[in-house]
Amino acid sequence: MTRAIIIGSGIGGLAMAIRLARQGIRVAVYEAAASAGGKVSERNFDGFRFDAGPSLLTLPELALELLDEDLRFPVQKLELITNYFYPDGTRILAYNDIQKLSAEIEKKLNVPAIKVTNYLQKAAKVFELTADLFIFGSFHRLKNLMNLKSLKTLLNYRKLQAFSSLHEFNTHELGEKRLVQLFDRYATYNGSDPYQTPATLSVISHLEHNLGAFIPVDGMFRITEALVHQALRLDVEFHFNQPVRKVETDNGKVTGVWLDSGFVPAKIVVSDVDIHHFYSTLLPDKKRLAKITKEERSSSALIFYWGMKGTFSELDIHNIFFSAAYEEEFSHLFQTKDFYNDPTVYIYSSSKYNKNDAPEGCENWFVMINAPSDVGQNWDKLIEQSRQNILEKLERMLGKKLSGSIISEEILSPPEICKQTGSVNGSIYGSSSNSRYASFNRHANFRSDISGLYFVGGSVHPGGGIPLCLSSARIVDGLVKEQQLKERK
């Protein structure tokens, strides 16, 4: 039986382990951390439970299709996706239902509802044109470019809006400043700057509003738990606290990996680690590393996990408190590599839906602001100042004193994200998409010159976030099947 090794057990690695095991391949997963899941983990302290990382699920079928029927976790489609708060006192309820959403925007911002529905129709068209090639397939293979769907994408290239920034496109299509800010925000879903990233990223709003936003009933960590259970059922071996030190190749083929305990042979090796780390450490390659290093790193996150005494009716499960100077905020993140004094604040409170996530009469607040990548800043100082700015902002916009309500706290900063998940510089999504060529520059899911070596996860094609990581595993699954078939012949 062919032996495969997965390096890392993030969502992409877990999905890959399941897919290979279903092919009848013997799979071993080596993970440097003490548990699986990578960024899709949880924190428990003082009676509070927090999803530690991602807090929203789109395209849930990509996860559910991996699981046996009895392991499929229930997901809830959110009726209200996000509660938006603006500095001028405006509040927008972003409903899942497009008609309700457009009516809300027309009522609150005096923007004709048709503008919103037209915008989302255009975003849907971008998805239609790009999904097979850029999300669920690989344009790194010539045969994938030589078909009618790819030809259709090329012929409709103008509709992808690749030569204008997301902000420019949103301004042209929507006009109203606050509405533009709302749709600019989707650039942050892959750690990018709406003033630089191509308008093609409007496709993210399609995933959330046209296809739906979901959350597992028992929290996001339920995804990790279900995938691990499925992998174990398929006899996947997990080796925790065992980092891979080197990938070995010979004569154009992968041969296995080196651990602290010695060499482990394998005909297939799949890396689910940051591609920068892979080429700097596991398979050193100065040329490839130099190319990756030239690409701008994505943003990171600064997260405060607050156990809050009391309940707050103004909030829903997802809440955004916008900055009054959005462009200035992103300039600080990507140019000066620090925080603007009026950051956009995101609050995720899963206890709004799952009362077991907080003690009675309390709420769990996952409080996050976008952070620059770690380039050696004084993080203790930045964290202290950011905490103060966040509290002052929330107290001002909610009209309530909050500092005394925080009864428990933990903090996650970019250096800790790097340490815990292996994301170089704490950049959650690897490289940013602050270039019209960013999608093309992402590393392919395979090496054409090394048979049996593959790549999944957020730092390679098709990109970061749960759906794209799961899609990377689906792509590699197809590549391995082709390899196996070729070897049988």
| Span 282-328, pLDDT tens digits | 999 999 999 999 999 999 999 999 999 999 999 999 999 999 999 99
> Residue 175: its pLDDT value, please?
95
Instruction: Name the burial class of residue 155, with classes exposed (0-12), middle (13-18) and buried (19+) by CB atoms within 10 angstroms of its CB.
Output: exposed
3-class DSSP assignment, residue 433: coil
* Residue whose entry in the numeric block shows the structure tokens 């062919």: 2
3-class DSSP assignment, residue 84: strand
Mean pLDDT taken over the chain: 93
Helix (H) or strand (E) holding 182: helix 177-184
Q: How far apart are CA 314 and CA 327, in angstroms?
A: 27
Which pairing describes strands 26-30 and 3-7: parallel, antiparallel, or unpaired?
Answer: parallel
Torsion sign over Cα 321, 322, 324, 327: positive
Q: List the one residue out of 274, 272, 269 whose CA is nearest residue 295.
A: 274
> Residue 440: its pLDDT value, please?
74
Instruction: Quote the longest CA-to-CA distance of the chain.
Output: 71
Q: How far apart are CA 408 and CA 44, in angstroms?
A: 11
> Residue 152: its pLDDT value, please?
53
Q: How far apart are CA 104 and CA 106, in angstroms?
A: 5
- Tell me the backbone φ, ψ of residue 22, rounded to 5 degrees: -70, -20
Q: How far apart are CA 16 and CA 275, in angstroms?
A: 16
- Tell me the backbone φ, ψ of residue 147, rounded to 5 degrees: -150, 170
Which amino acid, residue 235? D
CA 42 to chain centre: 16
> Residue 447: its pLDDT value, please?
96
Tokens of 378: 């004084």
| DSSP states of 145-180 | HSSHHHHHHHHTGGGGTTTSBHHHHHHHHH--HHHH
In 31-112, which residue ranges form alpha helices assigned H by DSSP?
61-64, 98-109
List 85's β-bridge partners, or say none. Answer: 91, 321
**Length of the chain counted residue by residue:** 489
| DSSP states of 216-264 | ETT-THHHHHHHHHHHHHTT-EEETT----EEEEETTEEEEEEETTEEE
* Residue whose entry in the numeric block shows the structure tokens 């940013």: 432
Query: Are 456 and 480 spatial neighbours (Cβ–Cβ below 8 Å)?
Result: no
Q: List the one residue out of 204, 203, 276 whose CA is nearest residue 427.
A: 276
CA 312 to chain centre: 28
Which amino acid, residue 238? F
Q: How far apart are CA 270 and CA 9, in angstroms?
A: 11
Domain range 3-41+220-296+434-488, its CATH number among 3.40.640.10, 3.40.50.150, 3.30.1600.10, 3.50.50.60: 3.50.50.60
> Residue 145: its pLDDT value, please?
47
Q: How far apart are CA 210 and CA 80, in angstroms?
A: 13
> Residue 483: its pLDDT value, please?
86
| 489 residues of the chain, pLDDT tens digit each | 679 999 999 999 999 999 999 999 999 999 999 999 999 999 999 999 999 999 999 999 999 999 999 999 999 999 999 999 999 999 999 999 999 999 999 999 999 999 999 999 999 998 888 877 778 877 655 455 445 554 455 545 555 676 799 999 999 999 999 999 999 999 999 999 999 999 988 999 999 999 999 999 999 999 999 999 999 999 999 999 999 999 999 999 999 999 999 999 999 999 999 999 999 999 999 999 999 999 999 999 999 999 999 999 999 999 999 999 999 999 999 999 999 999 999 999 999 999 999 999 999 999 999 999 999 999 999 999 999 999 999 999 999 999 999 999 999 999 999 999 999 999 999 999 888 777 778 899 999 999 999 999 999 999 999 999 999 999 999 999 998 887 776
Domain boundaries, the chain: 3-41+220-296+434-488
3-class DSSP assignment, residue 421: helix
Q: How far apart are CA 388 and CA 396, in angstroms?
A: 12
Query: Are 353 and 76 spatial neighbours (Cβ–Cβ below 8 Å)?
Result: yes
| Angle in degrees, CA 321, 324, 329, rounded to 5 | 90
* Residue whose entry in the numeric block shows the structure tokens 């080596």: 30
Q: List the one residue out of 180, 199, 176 whose CA is nearest residue 112.
A: 176
The set of residues, in sequence order, having a beta carbon less than 8 Å from that of 9 and lying 6+ positions away, is 17, 29, 31, 33, 36, 37, 38, 228, 238, 272
Q: How far apart are CA 95 and CA 110, in angstroms?
A: 17
3-class DSSP assignment, residue 309: strand
- DSSP conformational letter for 133: I
Radius of gyration of the chain (CA): 22
pTM of the entire predicted model: 0.94
